Amino acid sequence: MKPTIRVLHLEDSPRDAELLHDQLKAGGVSADIVRVDSKERFEAALAGDAFDVILCDYNLPGYDGLAAVKLAQEKQPAIPVIIVSGTVGEEEAVRSLHVGATDYLLKQRLDRLAPAVRRAMQEAEERRHRQQAEEALRRHQQQLASIYETVADVIFYVEVEQDGGYRFLSVNRAFLSTTGLDPRHVVGKRLDEILPEPSLTLVLEKYGEAIREKKVVRWEETSDYPTGRLIGDVSVAPVFDHAGNCTHLVGSVHDITERKRLEDQFRQAQKMESVGQLAGGIAHDFNNLLTAIIGYSELLLDRIADQVDVAADLGEIKRAGERASQLTKQLLAFSRKQTITPRIVDLNRVVGDLQSMLRRVIGEDIVLEMNTAPSLGRTKADPSQVQQVLMNLVVNARDAMPRGGRLTIGTADVVLNAAFVRDHAGAALGRYVSLTVADTGQGMTPEVRARVFEPFFTTKPVGRGTGLGLSTVYGIVKQHGGYITVDSAPGTGTTFVIYWPYVDEPAEPLSQGRAVESGLRGTETVLVVEDEAGIRALVGKMLERYGYQVMLAQHAEDALALDERHGGPIHLLLTDIVMPGLNGPDLAQRLVGRRPTMKVLYMSGFAPHVTISAGSLSDRAAFLQKPFAADTLATKVRECLDHHPKAPRPEAASP
């Protein structure tokens, strides 16, 4: 109790008031007493000041203690009120206690006043503490209820019944939004009334484990609900009573469906990248072999042109090599390792130039609808590669509509926002120019759609296609920094959308490049460096056929030695890029340092940007993609000697 308490005393007798004051002092209670003697003053005191206790006479002129107690309860209900009167009877005392008085005393027994005040003060303090605790508990319960109802995860409360069953007692709002189930059809129901097999068996096993092990148990569960298939990270915690019996389970479900989908997309992207690396490596090796097959076939054909039967057979060998070369180009396209010549283009123009050919390809039973956007933005791409993408998609669409249908080709300016990028692994924010190819054909199952870009994967019968068409599309798009989506379901057709990066530059003419000069012969000296013996000899014969002086080296060390011994000029270095020891770019660096006027021509089964991390080589050195024919080699050599500047070292060679 406070050292000095404030007392409001409703008493019309000054003498009685003095007696009460003396009695409190005698009882050890220090009090600051404010006495009022009327209803009006009592009301004013209650409205203006704060008191610790109210002492109230029961009978006053024009006013009574019962009304005073009611008023005190209304104005300051926390203040204890003690009735002190000489005439209060038992019935009136009980009535005053009912309306809120804390105690009552007879004036003849004022020796009880100080203990009664102390007791009233203590009870008031306890009451305040209890109310504060109850208020804190109420706020805490409100906070828990708010969390329970607003948290994004599903939360549920389950009763453990005596027979070992489980009954839902409550679920939060997220339960409805996540599952689509009506809580009224869940709350009060047993677990076995709601969950189907095999989910029920798994859940019962996990609930039993939580109770048995007395711990939180977590597991991943896939279930079908009205909102669709849900993959959830589920956890349940047991609740025990004082006797150690599990009475309830508290559980939550965190929706990881989207995370799983993105993980699957990421794994698919990794798989495609791995397959691309393998495809690129295979194509590189085959390009070396095909260079020899095609080149030697050409040389032999020139020598035996008069032997018709033998020439015909050799012609078939050459044509087979050329067809194989096309396959390696498709593999390189998928692995993003082919040579491209990008320029600023208008997709509408590229598509328009191919329109008449597309109509011939699809046949008369398929309606072609062009839906190109006016004033379309520009993109930087190799026009021939864009046309190859379009042709491959159109051929696949045609094959998906054996009984005819509708093929729609469209272009548009689009912006890929954060929501799109979040839902499509590998996509990047920004402006794009889209190319859409949509058919009304058979469509694809989810399993087929997931593998549609894999090399050699095809649903066509044996002999109908190589399975490289869509993988080529995928590689070309990725090599251009674009993104491709496919939307399909059985019976609903298929829609491919390709997003080419937007550039804010005017389009270049599609027909570009200098006409190849008719004269391909020369007398200059060419140093050929190639670690594959067959290709080295072949290239030498091809160049000699066109009149060039040829020096052959197996690797960079041989080339440097030849350069030391050779007293005359070396006009051109023709070198493979990837070789054991010193690679092509390093060799060029050394030789150009010794012979500043020497030109450089690189050759490789890979594209230049794969083997040299120097961006475009157009302003540094010429490049020749394997396999190549004799006239292609001669054209490139002549072009390099006549027009191309010498090449300083490319910035770095990849391992």
Residue 319 is predicted with a pLDDT of 60
Does residue 251 sit in the same domain as residue 291?
Answer: no
Residue 647 is predicted with a pLDDT of 46
Buried b (16+ CB within 10 A) or exposed e, 484-496: bebebeeeebbbb
Residue 213 is predicted with a pLDDT of 92
The tokens describing 33, both together, are 């007493």
Contacts made by residues 107-111, CB under 8 angstroms, sequence distance 24+: 107/16, 107/19, 110/19, 110/20, 110/23, 110/84, 111/23, 111/27
- Between the two ends of the chain, the Cα-to-Cα distance in Å is 87
Distance from chain centroid for Cα 603: 40
Does residue 22 sit in the same domain as residue 167?
Answer: no
Does residue 488 sit in the same domain as residue 378?
Answer: yes
8 A C-beta contact, residue 436 and residue 410 = yes
State pLDDT tens for residues 224-258: 777 777 888 999 999 999 888 999 999 998 888 77
CA dist., res. 361 & res. 381, Å (int): 24
8 A C-beta contact, residue 533 and residue 558 = no
Q: Which of 207, 229, 255 is the last residue of a domain?
A: 255
Residue 487 is predicted with a pLDDT of 92
8 A C-beta contact, residue 602 and residue 584 = yes
- pTM of the predicted model as reported, rounded to 2 decimal places: 0.40
Does residue 319 sit in the same domain as residue 349?
Answer: no
8 A C-beta contact, residue 580 and residue 533 = no
Residue partners of 78: CB distance under 8 A and separation at least 6? 124, 127, 128
CA dist., res. 270 & res. 5, Å (int): 80
Q: Is residue 612 part of a domain?
A: yes
Q: Where are the beta strands (DSSP E) in 214-350?
A: 217-225, 228-240, 246-255, 343-345
CA dist., res. 526 & res. 570, Å (int): 6
181 HSE (CA, 13 A, CB side): 18
Contacts made by residues 36-41, CB under 8 angstroms, sequence distance 24+: 36/8, 36/9, 36/10, 37/10, 37/11, 37/12, 38/12, 38/62, 38/63, 39/63, 39/67, 39/68
Residue with tokens 């509509």: 401
Does residue 429 sit in the same domain as residue 373?
Answer: yes
77 phi and psi, to 5 degrees? -65, -20
Helix pair 469-479, 308-334: axis angle to 10 deg:
50
Question: In terms of residues, how long is the chain?
Answer: 655
Residue 620 is predicted with a pLDDT of 47
Q: Is residue 486 part of a domain?
A: yes
Distances (CA, A) of 290 to 326, 475, 477, 563: 11, 22, 26, 30
Does residue 353 sit in the same domain as residue 468?
Answer: yes
Burial of 567 (0-12, 13-18, 19+ CB in 10 A): exposed
Does residue 380 sit in the same domain as residue 432?
Answer: yes
Cis peptide before 226 (omega within 30 of 0): no
Residue with tokens 């025990």: 240
Q: Residue 590: beta bridge partners?
A: none
Does residue 280 sit in the same domain as residue 201?
Answer: no
How many structural domains compose the chain?
5
The tokens describing 484, both together, are 């491709």
Q: Is residue 111 part of a domain?
A: yes
Q: What one-character DSSP code corresponds to residue 551?
A: E
CA dist., res. 458 & res. 451, Å (int): 9
CA dist., res. 101 & res. 80, Å (int): 7
Q: Is residue 143 part of a domain?
A: no
8 A C-beta contact, residue 314 and residue 300 = yes
Burial of 433 (0-12, 13-18, 19+ CB in 10 A): buried
The tokens describing 363, both together, are 């046949």
Q: How many CB atoms lie within 10 A of CB 334?
A: 29
Does residue 26 sit in the same domain as residue 118?
Answer: yes
Q: Is residue 481 part of a domain?
A: yes
CA dist., res. 57 & res. 17, Å (int): 10
The tokens describing 539, both together, are 């290239």
Does residue 378 sit in the same domain as residue 498?
Answer: yes
Residue with tokens 């794994």: 267
Residue 250: CATH number of its domain = 3.30.450.20
Q: Is residue 591 part of a domain?
A: yes
Does residue 459 sit in the same domain as residue 542?
Answer: no
Contacts made by residues 135-138, CB under 8 angstroms, sequence distance 24+: none
Residue 86: CATH number of its domain = 3.40.50.2300
Q: Is residue 329 part of a domain?
A: no
The DSSP element (H or E) to which 290 belongs, if any, is helix 257-303
* Domain coverage including residue 200: 151-255
Handedness of CA 451, 455, 457, 458 (dihedral sign): positive
Distance from chain centroid for Cα 95: 72
Q: How many CB atoms lie within 10 A of CB 638?
A: 20
Closest to 482 measured CA to CA, from 501, 502, 454: 501
Does residue 497 sit in the same domain as residue 350?
Answer: yes
Q: What one-character DSSP code corresponds to residue 209?
A: H
Report mean pLDDT in 10-residue bins for the chain, 655 residues.
Answer: 84 86 86 87 86 85 82 86 77 79 80 86 84 80 72 87 88 83 85 80 90 92 79 91 91 84 67 56 59 66 65 60 54 47 85 83 89 90 84 88 92 92 84 94 88 70 54 82 91 93 79 50 92 85 89 92 91 89 89 90 67 40 78 87 57 33
8 A C-beta contact, residue 605 and residue 285 = yes
Residue 385: CATH number of its domain = 3.30.565.10
Closest to 337 measured CA to CA, from 274, 275, 279: 279
Q: Are strands 228-240 and 246-255 parallel, antiparallel or unpaired?
A: antiparallel
Distance from chain centroid for Cα 124: 60
CA dist., res. 276 & res. 320, Å (int): 24
Q: Is residue 477 part of a domain?
A: yes
